[in-house]
Amino acid sequence: MDKSVDTKRLEELVAQIPPGASDKILYAGLAVLARDLNEYLMKDENLSGKATVIEETVKKVQKGEKDLSKPDPGRQFPTYTSDAAILPSDLTKKAADGQLNLIPLFTRDIDHEWFSRPGERFLDELTKALKGTICGPNGPYELSKQEGFNKNLSVAIAGVIVSAIALSSPISYPLAVYCGVLLTRVGLKTYCEP
């Protein structure tokens, strides 16, 4: 993990996730965060093209969602034009300003398949893109198997994701934390071993 990653801030974000939050709501929140981060990256000339793994992952998920969203294209990831008014927004902008807050993502408004399905696909695609980082030597999976490993696994995963997507500011922290928590819940072994 890059030394510039603020693990204390990652821990604070993990603590904001209610213990009883379902995987479905976490996947839905991940889709919203991916959408928000992608929009932020596209608007910022200094960042556009620098986080290619995020941009490419969003494109892959979007391509897969087009066929599934034909009956209602307004509910298609990442635009969600039919639902734009109910979505938590500007989470990435607030994170850039130092306001890291996941609480707006725990609303029944986003507890729908058209959010959770792309969130799950986003995690799958991002994990494929970062498998060597997450599962490889010195990655969180290998470290977690060592005797004496006592780090919060979700934070360790989030930290390497932040480092891998090469966004030094905290704008990627919320998305990375969601990925870390979901990968911890599902079990890294599921992703890292054939």
Give the residue among 139, 100, 104, 81 at the shortest CA–CA distance from 29.
Answer: 104
pLDDT on residue 23: 93
pLDDT of res. 174: 95
Which pLDDT does position 16 carry in this prediction? Answer: 95
**8 A C-beta contact, residue 183 and residue 23:** no
Please state, as a whole number, how many other Cβ atoms lie within 10 Å of the Cβ of residue 12: 16
Q: Say if pTM beats, i.e. exceeds, 0.95.
A: no
Q: What is the pLDDT along the chain (194 residues), one digit of tens a residue?
A: 566 889 999 999 999 999 889 999 999 999 999 988 888 888 876 766 666 888 888 888 888 776 655 556 556 666 666 666 777 888 989 998 989 999 989 877 788 887 888 999 999 999 999 999 999 988 999 888 886 676 789 999 999 999 888 776 789 999 999 999 999 998 888 888 87
| Cα-based distances in Å from 161 to 26, 134, 167 | 17, 8, 10
Handedness of CA 148, 14, 32, 37 (dihedral sign): negative
Q: Note the pLDDT of residue 125.
A: 93
Q: Where are the alpha helices (DSSP H) in the chain?
A: 7-16, 23-43, 52-68, 91-96, 113-129, 131-135, 140-144, 153-164, 173-186, 188-192
Provide the pLDDT for residue 122. 93
